[in-house]
Amino acid sequence: AQGVTVEFTAPAVDWLAEHGYQPEYGARPLRRTIQREVDNHLSRLLLDGRVAEGGRVTVDVEDGQLAFRTEDLPIAPEL
């Protein structure tokens, strides 16, 4: 939807794995962690117009928390 690309840095993947894994439940809580920490933030970026159609969002870690950087990419003309 919206033609937005989302990229995760290695530290962001590690952060999600660390925060989404619980020994008693395995990786099942990972889905909730992704919804809470990634999906909700991406939705706000889209709704607030902070990422444009065809843009890119890079998810990284800063100060122990996920950080979202947006970049507008030129949309290639249709041929």
Domains of the chain: 5-71 (1.10.8.60)
For residue 57, give every residue at least 6 positions away whose Cβ sits within 8 Å of its Cβ, in sequence order, or none.
4, 5, 6, 7, 42, 45, 51, 68, 69, 70, 71
- Model pTM above 0.85: no
State mean pLDDT over 19-25: 88
pLDDT at 39: 94
Given a cut of 90, is residue 34 above it in pLDDT? yes
pLDDT: which is higher, 79 or 4 = 4
pLDDT: which is higher, 59 or 79 = 59
Rounded distance between C-alpha atoms, residue 31 and residue 70, angstroms: 23
Rounded distance between C-alpha atoms, residue 57 and residue 38, angstroms: 11
